[in-house]
Amino acid sequence: MSKKLNSVATYDKKDEISNVPNPLSAIQNPGDKLSARVTNTYRKVLKVETNNGESKYSATQYPNGTIVETKTTKKK
């Protein structure tokens, strides 16, 4: 049975990835990963990986305000 990935990104009125109410709720087991960074081209990137890489979530905000979210779940 696949575990559901908790969403950690929330957006303010400017559609910015800014509030992470409880990021630790997304990482509950050994091996779970959470990372956030700003690239040299000013993209804001948030990544969450759970269940030993079986579930992944990422959100990228581009300088023009566009946000792209990706969710990936591996089949067993």
Residue-wise pLDDT for 17-70, tens only, equals 445 556 566 778 888 888 999 999 999 999 999 888 889 999 999 999 999 999
Residue 65 lies in a domain: yes
**Interatomic CA distance for residues 33 and 27, integer angstroms:** 6
Residue 26 lies in a domain: yes
**Interatomic CA distance for residues 43 and 60, integer angstroms:** 7
Residue 40 lies in a domain: yes
* pTM greater than 0.75 (yes/no): no
The 3-state DSSP class for residue 53 equals helix
Residue 5 lies in a domain: no
Which residue reads 């305000």 in tokens? 65
- For 25, the domain range is 10-73
Domain count along the chain: 1
